[in-house]
Amino acid sequence: MKIRTRFAPSPTGFMHVGNLRTALYEYLTAKHEDGTFVLRIEDTDQERYVEGATDVIYNTLKTAGLTHDEGPDIGGDFGPYVQSERLNMYKPYAEQLVKECKAYYCFCTKERLDELRASAKEGEVIGYDRHCRCLPQSEIDEKLAAGIPYVIRQMAPLEGESTYHDCVYGDITIKNEELDDQVLIKADGFPTYNFANVIDDHTMGITHVVRGSEYLSSTPKYNALYDAFGWEIPTYIHLPLIMGKSVDENGETVVSKLSKRHGSTGFFDLVNEGYLPEAIMNYIALLGWSPAGEFENREIFKMEELIKAFDINGISKSPSVFDYDKLEWVNAEYIKAMSSEEFLAHAKPYYDDIGVDAGCYELLEEILKPRITRFTQITEKLEFLKELEDYDIALFEHKKSKSTLETSKDALEAAIPLLAECDWTREAITEVLTGLAAAKEVKNALIMWPVRIAAAGVAVTPGGCAEVLILLGKDEAIRRLNIGLEKITKG
Ligand code: GLU
């Protein structure tokens, strides 16, 4: 049997990393077995409709590298793949259950149901009292003929127990008396969310249902429907929540469901912060799944490797905590592993923004690759190239290199004419500056420190003195060194 999984997001306009992990595990479950990954848009709840929300879903899957085999945009043999385009398909299934005495018409008014609910004691949840479950056929016919509005409810089993197996949580048993006579078709003729979900999964041939653990408790209701129809229940893989860590006002660490207060939780928010889609997917693959066998303890996985390594048995039921530092580390690993072409493609927009000369690309790659964990950091790291900010001459004083205003003045006075004559290569610049230190019989740092400060105007730069000079270009570097000397002279 070929595995068929589906990602069934509701179009809310936002893709939480938890939903994306569900999509990823669905994709991997299917692809590991050469199966089919289906995209279905669950938009039965039209009140929650958000403009452009389906595009967010398409863009997310595309950017994340989760290519679906069937879906609203590409079609397939089991369409339509948007619930609102399937609305007429559901009622006949409910009618079939009515005919087989597994469902019934319920004519109870909203007022009656409200009263019923209001009669509940505090803390008590009252389900439907099954008032219409046993109406005489003649009464039903009369009401239908009179056009009285109705919903269709399932006749849930009243006794016994139901057990189902979940691949992550094991066997789950409930007493059937806990099952409500759930509404399948609403008074407007449209299906309830749960009913549509089951009909869709069955008619789309879905074999494995992967979704959040918040659906564990509704699953018996879904199974009651599969049983009523005599359909095979799919394999269930419910995923634990993703948690976030924060510190409360008493300084205690609190772990709670991952939300905005822990950091970005949306896929595109993370992408905009500079996390690479491949790194995000790699990281969230490991949020709740541990590789085993030949892949044990491995942390960096390309998508093809995930497909190979993924195994449902490696999913843990204990909730995992989203660790932004770990994501940062994974991202840095992806950057380090990039070819020069890939690195440049990602870095170029930031270079262009600063106005970096193409001749510096190679040097910059060498300097930045080991130092950045996200490409967005380039802007800040190279900010000093844009223009020389007004800086405090106290920057020239540096304890460790024993640099003072006086030594800095001497160093700059001597270095400027030498550099003005020098070939603008790293080797030549280094040779000039170390040669100067040797001639003056001082440590290299006593020359390098003031030159780098005058060139950059900031204390921290990526790369050392020679690199900073090269990046600036000769004219700009000499101009800045003269400004530095003038600043110190004026005091
Ligand atoms: N539409 C549901 C959601 O977005 C999916 C439920 C399911 O996968 O069965 O949470």
What pLDDT band is residue 295 in, cutting at 50, 70 and 90? very high
Whole-model pTM above 0.95? no
My answer on whether 132 and 193 are in the same domain is yes
My answer on whether 233 and 145 are in the same domain is yes
Q: How close is the Cα of 485 to the center of ligand 1, in Å?
A: 66
My answer on whether 235 and 101 are in the same domain is yes
Q: What is the pLDDT of residues 466-483, one digit of tens each?
A: 999 999 999 999 999 999
Residue 99 is assigned to a structural domain of this protein = yes
My answer on whether 191 and 212 are in the same domain is yes
Of the residues 220, 239, 258, the one at which a domain ends = 239
Q: How close is the Cα of 8 to the center of ligand 1, in Å?
A: 5
Residue 41 is assigned to a structural domain of this protein = no
Pairing of strands 208-212, 235-239: parallel
The ligand 1 atom at the shortest distance from the C-alpha of residue 210 is: 8
CA dist., res. 215 & res. 213, Å (int) = 5
Q: What kind and span of H or E run contains 105?
A: strand 103-106
Residue 79 is assigned to a structural domain of this protein = no
CA dist., res. 474 & res. 425, Å (int) = 10
Q: What kind and span of H or E run contains 349?
A: helix 340-354
Q: Which residues of 132-146 are buried (b: 16+ CB within 10 A; e: fewer)?
A: beebeeeebeebeee
My answer on whether 208 and 295 are in the same domain is no
Q: How close is the Cα of 410 to the center of ligand 1, in Å?
A: 71
Q: How many domains does the chain fold into?
A: 4
130: pLDDT strictly greater than 80: yes
Of the residues 221, 239, 257, the one at which a domain ends = 239
Residue 33 is assigned to a structural domain of this protein = no
Ligand 1, atom 10: nearest CA belongs to which residue? 9
My answer on whether 218 and 130 are in the same domain is yes
Residue 329 is assigned to a structural domain of this protein = yes
The ligand 1 atom at the shortest distance from the C-alpha of residue 12 is: 4
The ligand 1 atom at the shortest distance from the C-alpha of residue 7 is: 8
Residue 472 is assigned to a structural domain of this protein = yes
My answer on whether 274 and 325 are in the same domain is yes
My answer on whether 156 and 203 are in the same domain is yes
Of the residues 209, 239, 269, the one at which a domain ends = 239
Residue 176 is assigned to a structural domain of this protein = yes
My answer on whether 284 and 249 are in the same domain is yes
CA distances from 296 to 29, 302, 327, 376 (A): 18, 15, 19, 32
Task: Check 2, 260, 386, 443 and give the catalytic one.
Answer: 260
Q: How close is the Cα of 6 to the center of ligand 1, in Å?
A: 10
Whether 62 sits among the annotated catalytic residues: the reply is: no
Q: What is the pLDDT of residues 255-264, one digit of tens each?
A: 999 999 999 9
CATH code of residue 459: 1.10.10.350
Ligand 1: which of 17, 42, 200 to mutate, most ligand atoms within 8 Å of CB?
42
CATH code of residue 290: 1.10.1160.10
Q: Which residue range forms the structural domain that includes residue 267? A: 242-336
Pairing of strands 103-106, 235-239: unpaired
120: pLDDT strictly greater than 90: no
My answer on whether 117 and 231 are in the same domain is yes
The ligand 1 atom at the shortest distance from the C-alpha of residue 9 is: 4
Residue 116 is assigned to a structural domain of this protein = yes
Ligand 1 pocket (Cβ < 6 Å) reads: 8-10, 42, 197, 211, 215
For the chain, the average pLDDT equals 95
CATH code of residue 201: 3.40.50.620
What local confidence, expressed as pLDDT, does residue 127 receive?
87
My answer on whether 176 and 249 are in the same domain is no
My answer on whether 413 and 461 are in the same domain is yes
What local confidence, expressed as pLDDT, does residue 288 receive?
94
The whole-number average pLDDT for the span 345-365 is 96
- Residue 266 dihedral angles phi and psi, to the nearest 5°: -90, 140
What local confidence, expressed as pLDDT, does residue 216 receive?
95
The whole-number average pLDDT for the span 305-321 is 96
